[in-house]
Amino acid sequence: MPGTQQHDDEIDLFELVQTLWDGKWLIGGISSAALAIGGAYLAVTPNSFDASIKLSPIDGVYASEFRPIEQALLSLESAGLNRPTPREGTDIAPIDHTDIVSSTGLMSEFTAVLLRRDTIAEAIRQLGMPDPQNYDTEAEYDQALTRRVFEVGINSVEIAAPTPSGTTRGWEISWQSDDTSRSDAFIDELIDLTNAASRQRVLERINAEANEALRATTQRAAQLERQIENSLQDYQINISDQLSYLSEQASLARSLGIEQGTGTGTGTGTGTDFRTLQTRATAAGLPIGMTYTDGYLAIERQMEILSSRDQLEAFVPNLRDLQSELRLLQQDTTLEDIQQAVGATPLRDEQNFQAVQYDLSAVEINHHKKPSLILALSLVLGCFFGAAAVLIRGALRSRVTQN
Protein backbone atom coordinates (compact mmCIF):
# COMPACT_ATOMS: atom_id res chain seq x y z
CA MET A 1 0.00 0.00 0.00
CA PRO A 2 1.16 3.63 -0.51
CA GLY A 3 1.36 4.31 3.22
CA THR A 4 3.47 1.28 3.86
CA GLN A 5 5.81 2.12 0.96
CA GLN A 6 6.39 5.65 2.32
CA HIS A 7 7.19 4.24 5.76
CA ASP A 8 9.75 1.80 4.33
CA ASP A 9 11.61 4.59 2.51
CA GLU A 10 12.15 6.66 5.64
CA ILE A 11 15.65 6.56 7.27
CA ASP A 12 15.66 5.26 10.79
CA LEU A 13 18.40 7.32 12.53
CA PHE A 14 18.47 5.04 15.52
CA GLU A 15 18.99 2.03 13.30
CA LEU A 16 21.72 3.94 11.39
CA VAL A 17 23.59 4.81 14.57
CA GLN A 18 23.17 1.27 15.81
CA THR A 19 24.61 -0.07 12.57
CA LEU A 20 27.61 2.26 12.81
CA TRP A 21 28.15 1.33 16.43
CA ASP A 22 28.02 -2.33 15.63
CA GLY A 23 30.70 -1.73 12.97
CA LYS A 24 32.93 0.39 15.15
CA TRP A 25 35.78 -2.05 14.97
CA LEU A 26 35.69 -2.08 11.20
CA ILE A 27 35.58 1.73 11.14
CA GLY A 28 38.46 1.87 13.60
CA GLY A 29 40.49 -0.61 11.60
CA ILE A 30 40.00 1.20 8.31
CA SER A 31 40.73 4.56 10.00
CA SER A 32 43.90 3.15 11.54
CA ALA A 33 44.97 1.78 8.17
CA ALA A 34 44.37 5.17 6.52
CA LEU A 35 46.29 6.91 9.30
CA ALA A 36 49.15 4.43 8.86
CA ILE A 37 49.16 5.07 5.11
CA GLY A 38 49.33 8.84 5.75
CA GLY A 39 52.18 8.36 8.22
CA ALA A 40 54.03 6.14 5.77
CA TYR A 41 53.62 8.80 3.11
CA LEU A 42 55.14 11.40 5.43
CA ALA A 43 58.00 9.07 6.31
CA VAL A 44 58.81 8.04 2.74
CA THR A 45 58.49 11.36 0.93
CA PRO A 46 61.11 14.09 1.59
CA ASN A 47 60.16 16.61 4.23
CA SER A 48 61.04 19.60 2.02
CA PHE A 49 60.44 23.16 3.16
CA ASP A 50 61.28 26.76 2.41
CA ALA A 51 63.33 28.67 4.97
CA SER A 52 64.24 32.34 5.21
CA ILE A 53 66.04 34.75 7.52
CA LYS A 54 66.08 38.54 7.59
CA LEU A 55 69.27 40.58 7.94
CA SER A 56 69.22 44.16 9.21
CA PRO A 57 71.89 46.83 9.82
CA ILE A 58 73.75 46.59 13.11
CA ASP A 59 72.26 48.59 15.97
CA GLY A 60 73.66 51.84 17.32
CA VAL A 61 75.28 50.26 20.38
CA TYR A 62 77.34 47.81 18.34
CA ALA A 63 78.05 50.45 15.68
CA SER A 64 79.56 52.72 18.37
CA GLU A 65 82.34 50.15 18.87
CA PHE A 66 83.71 51.14 15.45
CA ARG A 67 84.00 54.82 16.40
CA PRO A 68 87.82 54.72 16.88
CA ILE A 69 88.21 53.86 13.19
CA GLU A 70 85.84 56.65 12.16
CA GLN A 71 87.86 59.15 14.20
CA ALA A 72 91.14 57.90 12.72
CA LEU A 73 89.78 58.22 9.18
CA LEU A 74 88.42 61.67 9.99
CA SER A 75 91.87 62.71 11.14
CA LEU A 76 93.20 61.74 7.70
CA GLU A 77 90.68 64.00 6.04
CA SER A 78 91.23 66.86 8.48
CA ALA A 79 94.97 66.61 7.81
CA GLY A 80 94.25 66.79 4.09
CA LEU A 81 95.97 63.45 3.51
CA ASN A 82 92.92 61.71 2.11
CA ARG A 83 90.21 64.28 1.68
CA PRO A 84 87.27 63.03 -0.43
CA THR A 85 86.65 65.11 -3.53
CA PRO A 86 84.03 64.82 -6.27
CA ARG A 87 85.10 63.22 -9.52
CA GLU A 88 86.40 65.89 -11.89
CA GLY A 89 83.80 67.06 -14.40
CA THR A 90 80.90 65.32 -12.64
CA ASP A 91 78.34 66.11 -9.98
CA ILE A 92 78.98 62.88 -8.11
CA ALA A 93 79.07 63.50 -4.37
CA PRO A 94 82.42 62.92 -2.64
CA ILE A 95 82.96 59.57 -0.97
CA ASP A 96 82.67 59.63 2.80
CA HIS A 97 85.57 57.44 3.91
CA THR A 98 84.15 57.12 7.44
CA ASP A 99 81.12 55.30 5.95
CA ILE A 100 83.32 52.21 5.67
CA VAL A 101 82.44 51.11 9.22
CA SER A 102 78.98 52.65 9.53
CA SER A 103 75.96 50.38 9.91
CA THR A 104 74.95 50.95 6.28
CA GLY A 105 78.55 50.63 5.08
CA LEU A 106 79.03 47.28 6.81
CA MET A 107 75.73 45.97 5.47
CA SER A 108 76.75 47.07 1.96
CA GLU A 109 79.98 45.10 2.27
CA PHE A 110 78.08 42.04 3.55
CA THR A 111 75.55 42.27 0.73
CA ALA A 112 78.26 42.76 -1.90
CA VAL A 113 79.92 39.54 -0.76
CA LEU A 114 76.61 37.70 -0.58
CA LEU A 115 75.51 38.72 -4.08
CA ARG A 116 78.71 37.32 -5.53
CA ARG A 117 77.47 33.92 -4.18
CA ASP A 118 80.99 32.62 -3.57
CA THR A 119 80.27 32.12 0.12
CA ILE A 120 76.96 30.42 -0.74
CA ALA A 121 78.81 27.93 -2.94
CA GLU A 122 81.41 27.34 -0.23
CA ALA A 123 78.77 26.74 2.47
CA ILE A 124 76.91 24.28 0.23
CA ARG A 125 80.15 22.53 -0.70
CA GLN A 126 81.27 22.16 2.93
CA LEU A 127 77.94 20.64 3.96
CA GLY A 128 77.83 18.23 1.02
CA MET A 129 74.69 19.75 -0.48
CA PRO A 130 74.70 18.09 -2.98
CA ASP A 131 76.94 15.12 -2.24
CA PRO A 132 79.75 14.78 -4.82
CA GLN A 133 79.55 10.98 -4.53
CA ASN A 134 76.13 11.03 -6.18
CA TYR A 135 77.60 12.28 -9.46
CA ASP A 136 79.68 10.42 -11.99
CA THR A 137 81.77 13.36 -13.17
CA GLU A 138 83.02 16.59 -11.66
CA ALA A 139 81.23 18.56 -14.38
CA GLU A 140 77.88 17.08 -13.34
CA TYR A 141 78.58 17.92 -9.73
CA ASP A 142 79.55 21.49 -10.66
CA GLN A 143 76.30 21.91 -12.58
CA ALA A 144 74.27 20.59 -9.65
CA LEU A 145 76.18 22.86 -7.28
CA THR A 146 75.55 25.89 -9.49
CA ARG A 147 71.82 25.12 -9.63
CA ARG A 148 71.72 24.77 -5.86
CA VAL A 149 73.63 28.03 -5.38
CA PHE A 150 71.21 30.02 -7.52
CA GLU A 151 68.22 28.47 -5.77
CA VAL A 152 69.19 30.59 -2.76
CA GLY A 153 67.20 33.83 -2.91
CA ILE A 154 68.64 37.22 -1.93
CA ASN A 155 66.07 40.00 -1.82
CA SER A 156 65.88 43.51 -0.42
CA VAL A 157 63.10 43.94 2.15
CA GLU A 158 61.79 46.58 4.50
CA ILE A 159 62.28 45.70 8.16
CA ALA A 160 60.64 47.36 11.17
CA ALA A 161 63.15 49.62 12.90
CA PRO A 162 63.20 52.59 15.33
CA THR A 163 63.60 55.13 12.54
CA PRO A 164 61.46 58.14 11.60
CA SER A 165 59.85 56.06 8.84
CA GLY A 166 59.42 53.07 11.14
CA THR A 167 61.36 50.80 8.77
CA THR A 168 64.85 50.27 7.46
CA ARG A 169 66.24 48.54 4.42
CA GLY A 170 67.35 45.01 5.06
CA TRP A 171 67.90 41.79 3.16
CA GLU A 172 66.28 38.38 3.21
CA ILE A 173 67.99 35.09 2.42
CA SER A 174 65.71 32.23 1.41
CA TRP A 175 66.55 28.61 0.60
CA GLN A 176 65.06 25.14 0.32
CA SER A 177 65.93 22.13 2.42
CA ASP A 178 64.58 18.76 3.54
CA ASP A 179 66.42 18.54 6.84
CA THR A 180 66.09 21.01 9.70
CA SER A 181 69.54 20.39 11.16
CA ARG A 182 71.18 20.74 7.74
CA SER A 183 69.20 23.89 7.08
CA ASP A 184 70.40 25.43 10.35
CA ALA A 185 73.98 24.36 9.63
CA PHE A 186 73.80 25.88 6.14
CA ILE A 187 72.63 29.35 7.18
CA ASP A 188 75.01 29.38 10.15
CA GLU A 189 77.96 28.49 7.91
CA LEU A 190 76.86 30.94 5.21
CA ILE A 191 76.64 33.89 7.58
CA ASP A 192 79.99 33.01 9.19
CA LEU A 193 81.72 32.80 5.80
CA THR A 194 80.11 36.02 4.56
CA ASN A 195 81.01 37.84 7.77
CA ALA A 196 84.63 36.72 7.42
CA ALA A 197 84.77 37.84 3.78
CA SER A 198 83.11 41.17 4.68
CA ARG A 199 85.64 41.75 7.45
CA GLN A 200 88.47 41.12 4.98
CA ARG A 201 86.97 43.62 2.52
CA VAL A 202 86.60 46.26 5.26
CA LEU A 203 90.20 45.75 6.38
CA GLU A 204 91.38 46.04 2.78
CA ARG A 205 89.48 49.31 2.36
CA ILE A 206 90.94 50.70 5.59
CA ASN A 207 94.41 49.60 4.53
CA ALA A 208 93.83 51.25 1.16
CA GLU A 209 92.95 54.50 2.93
CA ALA A 210 96.05 54.20 5.11
CA ASN A 211 98.27 53.42 2.12
CA GLU A 212 96.81 56.36 0.22
CA ALA A 213 97.56 58.59 3.18
CA LEU A 214 101.09 57.17 3.38
CA ARG A 215 101.57 57.81 -0.32
CA ALA A 216 100.31 61.37 0.05
CA THR A 217 102.53 61.93 3.10
CA THR A 218 105.60 60.50 1.37
CA GLN A 219 104.91 62.55 -1.76
CA ARG A 220 104.45 65.77 0.20
CA ALA A 221 107.57 65.11 2.30
CA ALA A 222 109.65 64.52 -0.83
CA GLN A 223 108.24 67.73 -2.31
CA LEU A 224 109.15 69.69 0.82
CA GLU A 225 112.66 68.23 0.83
CA ARG A 226 113.11 69.34 -2.78
CA GLN A 227 111.78 72.81 -1.94
CA ILE A 228 114.15 73.08 1.01
CA GLU A 229 117.09 71.94 -1.08
CA ASN A 230 116.14 74.30 -3.90
CA SER A 231 115.72 77.19 -1.46
CA LEU A 232 119.21 76.61 -0.06
CA GLN A 233 120.70 76.36 -3.54
CA ASP A 234 118.86 79.49 -4.64
CA TYR A 235 120.16 81.31 -1.59
CA GLN A 236 123.73 80.24 -2.29
CA ILE A 237 123.38 81.37 -5.90
CA ASN A 238 121.93 84.64 -4.63
CA ILE A 239 124.86 85.12 -2.24
CA SER A 240 127.29 84.36 -5.05
CA ASP A 241 125.56 86.99 -7.22
CA GLN A 242 125.69 89.48 -4.37
CA LEU A 243 129.39 88.89 -3.79
CA SER A 244 130.13 89.26 -7.50
CA TYR A 245 128.18 92.51 -7.62
CA LEU A 246 129.81 93.86 -4.44
CA SER A 247 133.26 92.85 -5.65
CA GLU A 248 132.70 94.85 -8.79
CA GLN A 249 131.48 97.83 -6.80
CA ALA A 250 134.42 97.61 -4.41
CA SER A 251 136.87 97.53 -7.33
CA LEU A 252 135.14 100.52 -8.83
CA ALA A 253 135.29 102.46 -5.52
CA ARG A 254 139.02 101.69 -5.16
CA SER A 255 139.73 102.82 -8.67
CA LEU A 256 137.96 106.09 -7.90
CA GLY A 257 139.59 106.42 -4.51
CA ILE A 258 136.31 106.32 -2.61
CA GLU A 259 137.29 104.84 0.73
CA GLN A 260 134.29 105.92 2.70
CA GLY A 261 131.39 107.02 0.62
CA THR A 262 128.37 109.11 1.32
CA GLY A 263 125.95 106.21 0.95
CA THR A 264 123.79 108.17 -1.45
CA GLY A 265 124.19 105.67 -4.27
CA THR A 266 124.20 108.50 -6.81
CA GLY A 267 127.79 108.30 -8.02
CA THR A 268 128.39 109.94 -11.39
CA GLY A 269 131.22 110.80 -13.67
CA THR A 270 132.42 107.16 -14.05
CA GLY A 271 130.66 106.30 -17.23
CA THR A 272 128.52 103.70 -15.37
CA ASP A 273 124.77 103.73 -15.97
CA PHE A 274 123.15 104.03 -12.56
CA ARG A 275 119.94 102.37 -13.74
CA THR A 276 121.91 99.24 -14.60
CA LEU A 277 123.50 99.21 -11.14
CA GLN A 278 120.12 99.66 -9.53
CA THR A 279 118.65 96.75 -11.45
CA ARG A 280 121.54 94.46 -10.56
CA ALA A 281 121.41 95.42 -6.91
CA THR A 282 117.71 94.69 -6.75
CA ALA A 283 118.21 91.35 -8.47
CA ALA A 284 120.95 90.48 -6.01
CA GLY A 285 118.77 91.32 -3.04
CA LEU A 286 120.96 94.26 -1.97
CA PRO A 287 119.93 97.66 -0.74
CA ILE A 288 119.65 99.98 -3.71
CA GLY A 289 122.14 102.35 -2.08
CA MET A 290 124.91 99.72 -1.84
CA THR A 291 127.01 100.93 -4.76
CA TYR A 292 130.56 102.05 -5.20
CA THR A 293 129.63 105.46 -3.75
CA ASP A 294 129.38 103.78 -0.33
CA GLY A 295 133.18 103.34 -0.43
CA TYR A 296 135.17 100.18 -0.75
CA LEU A 297 135.61 99.79 3.03
CA ALA A 298 131.87 99.39 3.60
CA ILE A 299 131.43 97.22 0.54
CA GLU A 300 134.31 94.90 1.45
CA ARG A 301 132.98 94.67 5.00
CA GLN A 302 129.62 93.70 3.59
CA MET A 303 131.33 91.01 1.53
CA GLU A 304 133.07 89.65 4.65
CA ILE A 305 129.77 89.43 6.49
CA LEU A 306 128.05 87.62 3.62
CA SER A 307 130.97 85.20 3.22
CA SER A 308 131.16 84.39 6.95
CA ARG A 309 127.54 83.20 7.35
CA ASP A 310 127.50 79.65 8.77
CA GLN A 311 123.78 79.23 9.55
CA LEU A 312 122.42 79.83 6.08
CA GLU A 313 118.95 78.52 7.05
CA ALA A 314 118.29 81.60 9.15
CA PHE A 315 118.59 83.85 6.08
CA VAL A 316 116.58 81.75 3.55
CA PRO A 317 113.05 83.15 3.12
CA ASN A 318 110.22 80.73 4.14
CA LEU A 319 112.73 77.97 4.88
CA ARG A 320 111.61 77.62 8.49
CA ASP A 321 107.99 77.18 7.40
CA LEU A 322 108.96 74.44 4.99
CA GLN A 323 111.08 72.70 7.62
CA SER A 324 108.27 72.95 10.15
CA GLU A 325 105.76 71.36 7.76
CA LEU A 326 108.22 68.60 6.92
CA ARG A 327 108.81 67.91 10.60
CA LEU A 328 105.05 67.63 11.21
CA LEU A 329 104.74 65.09 8.42
CA GLN A 330 107.68 63.07 9.72
CA GLN A 331 106.19 63.06 13.23
CA ASP A 332 102.63 62.26 12.10
CA THR A 333 101.22 59.16 13.83
CA THR A 334 97.94 58.92 11.93
CA LEU A 335 98.81 55.58 10.34
CA GLU A 336 99.75 54.11 13.70
CA ASP A 337 96.51 55.49 15.09
CA ILE A 338 94.54 53.64 12.40
CA GLN A 339 96.26 50.37 13.25
CA GLN A 340 95.54 50.87 16.95
CA ALA A 341 91.95 51.83 16.13
CA VAL A 342 91.42 48.57 14.24
CA GLY A 343 92.73 46.67 17.25
CA ALA A 344 90.25 48.48 19.50
CA THR A 345 87.18 47.48 17.44
CA PRO A 346 85.42 44.20 16.60
CA LEU A 347 87.54 44.06 13.44
CA ARG A 348 90.42 42.70 15.48
CA ASP A 349 89.24 39.10 14.97
CA GLU A 350 86.53 37.15 13.15
CA GLN A 351 84.74 36.02 16.30
CA ASN A 352 83.99 39.59 17.40
CA PHE A 353 83.06 40.97 13.99
CA GLN A 354 79.50 41.13 12.72
CA ALA A 355 78.57 43.08 9.60
CA VAL A 356 74.81 42.66 9.94
CA GLN A 357 72.29 41.92 12.64
CA TYR A 358 70.31 38.67 12.55
CA ASP A 359 68.69 36.04 14.76
CA LEU A 360 69.26 32.41 13.83
CA SER A 361 66.40 31.36 16.09
CA ALA A 362 64.03 33.50 14.00
CA VAL A 363 64.42 31.46 10.81
CA GLU A 364 61.00 31.22 9.18
CA ILE A 365 60.08 27.76 7.87
CA ASN A 366 57.25 26.99 5.46
CA HIS A 367 56.81 23.24 4.88
CA HIS A 368 55.80 22.08 1.42
CA LYS A 369 53.72 19.31 2.96
CA LYS A 370 51.70 19.76 6.15
CA PRO A 371 52.11 16.71 8.41
CA SER A 372 49.24 17.56 10.71
CA LEU A 373 46.93 18.29 7.80
CA ILE A 374 47.87 15.05 6.00
CA LEU A 375 47.31 12.97 9.14
CA ALA A 376 44.01 14.70 9.85
CA LEU A 377 42.81 14.09 6.29
CA SER A 378 43.94 10.48 6.51
CA LEU A 379 41.93 10.00 9.68
CA VAL A 380 38.83 11.70 8.24
CA LEU A 381 38.99 9.69 5.03
CA GLY A 382 39.55 6.51 7.02
CA CYS A 383 36.49 7.20 9.14
CA PHE A 384 34.46 8.02 6.03
CA PHE A 385 35.40 4.87 4.16
CA GLY A 386 34.99 2.80 7.32
CA ALA A 387 31.47 4.16 7.89
CA ALA A 388 30.65 3.60 4.23
CA ALA A 389 31.88 0.00 4.46
CA VAL A 390 29.80 -0.62 7.59
CA LEU A 391 26.67 0.84 6.01
CA ILE A 392 27.18 -1.14 2.81
CA ARG A 393 27.69 -4.31 4.85
CA GLY A 394 24.52 -3.59 6.85
CA ALA A 395 22.50 -2.96 3.73
CA LEU A 396 23.70 -6.21 2.17
CA ARG A 397 22.84 -8.16 5.32
CA SER A 398 19.38 -6.58 5.46
CA ARG A 399 18.73 -7.45 1.82
CA VAL A 400 19.86 -11.02 2.38
CA THR A 401 17.57 -11.33 5.42
CA GLN A 402 14.55 -9.99 3.51
CA ASN A 403 15.16 -12.44 0.69
Sign of the C-alpha dihedral computed for residues 331, 336, 338 and 340 taken in this order: negative
Nearest to 129 by CA among 24, 51, 222, 245: 51
Radius of gyration of the chain (CA): 47
Q: What is the pLDDT along the chain (403 residues), one digit of tens a residue?
A: 444 444 454 556 777 777 778 777 887 888 888 888 878 877 777 678 899 999 999 998 999 999 988 888 887 766 555 544 444 444 434 445 568 889 999 999 999 999 999 999 999 999 888 888 888 899 999 999 999 999 999 999 998 877 777 788 899 999 998 888 889 999 999 999 999 999 999 999 998 888 888 888 889 899 999 999 999 999 989 888 888 999 999 999 999 889 887 654 443 333 334 344 445 445 545 444 468 888 899 988 988 988 888 887 888 888 899 999 899 888 878 778 888 889 999 999 888 899 999 998 889 988 766 777 878 888 888 888 878 887 888 778 777 777 6
What DSSP string describes 48-110? -EEEEEEEBPPPHHHHGGGHHHHHHHHHHHHTTSS---PPTTS-PPPP-GGGGGSHHHHHHHH
